[in-house]
Amino acid sequence: MSDVENDRRKRKKTGTWDLTNMRKAVEKVINNEMTTRQAANRYQVPRTTLNDRISAIKRGKEMSTEPLMGRFHNTFSLEHEKILVEHVKDLGNRLMPLNRKEFLYFVFQLGEKLKLPHQFNKEKKICRKELLFFILL
């Protein structure tokens, strides 16, 4: 067996479950027709992911049944980002450009004012530096 074939076998397949199967599994568990383990086995979806989705629904959160990859997710919609970029450009045209720290603080304030769920630093009252790079691209 070659190294390439061996690597393919070792790789974990993430987010490869079927969307319709996840919906069916969530429905069965919510309706108390199956346990989480039974639904995960029958519909071939990850038990922990199924459990996360069900917990979120029970807490009253809107939850997508689609696979979400990665830890960080967008805080702002494309519309919000366009408004943010236009505002920063407008400030620059008025000879009041924001430095990096001011910009990160401004983005934090915007997220708080719009009451968007975010992963910003509430102690320092700034957003993640990664957002700065995404907007500047």
Each of the 137 residues of the chain gets a pLDDT tens digit; together they read 555 555 555 555 566 778 889 889 999 999 999 999 999 999 999 999 899 888 888 887 666 656 666 666 677 788 888 888 888 889 989 998 888 888 888 888 888 888 887 777 788 888 777 666 655 55
- Considering the domain architecture, whether residues 94 and 50 belong to the same structural domain is answered as no
In terms of domains, do 51 and 83 share one? no
| Position 63 in a domain | no
- The answer to whether 38 touches 44, Cβ cutoff 8 Å, is no
**127 in the same domain as 87:** yes
- The rounded distance, in Å, linking the Cα atoms of 120 and 9 is 38
**Within-domain flag for 11:** yes
Quote the pLDDT of residue 5.
Answer: 54
Domain that holds residue 83: 78-136
User: Taking a C-beta distance cutoff of 8 angstroms, is the pair 36, 54 a contact?
Assistant: yes
Verify that 91 and 50 share a domain, yes or no: no
Q: How far is CA 110 from CA 86, 103, 105, 129, in A?
A: 14, 10, 9, 15
User: For residues 127 and 98, is the Cβ–Cβ distance under 8 A?
Assistant: no
Q: Which residue has the tokens 């993430």?
A: 14
45 part of a folded domain: yes
Same domain, 51 and 17: yes
Kindly state whether residue 99 falls inside one of the protein's structural domains: yes
Same domain, yes or no, for 130 and 87? yes
> Would residue 67 count as lying in a domain?
no
Predicted TM-score (pTM) of this structure = 0.47
Task: Give me the number of domains the chain comprises.
Answer: 2
Residues 45 and 89 reside in one and the same domain? no
Domain membership flag for residue 65: no
Q: What local confidence, expressed as pLDDT, does residue 135 receive?
A: 54
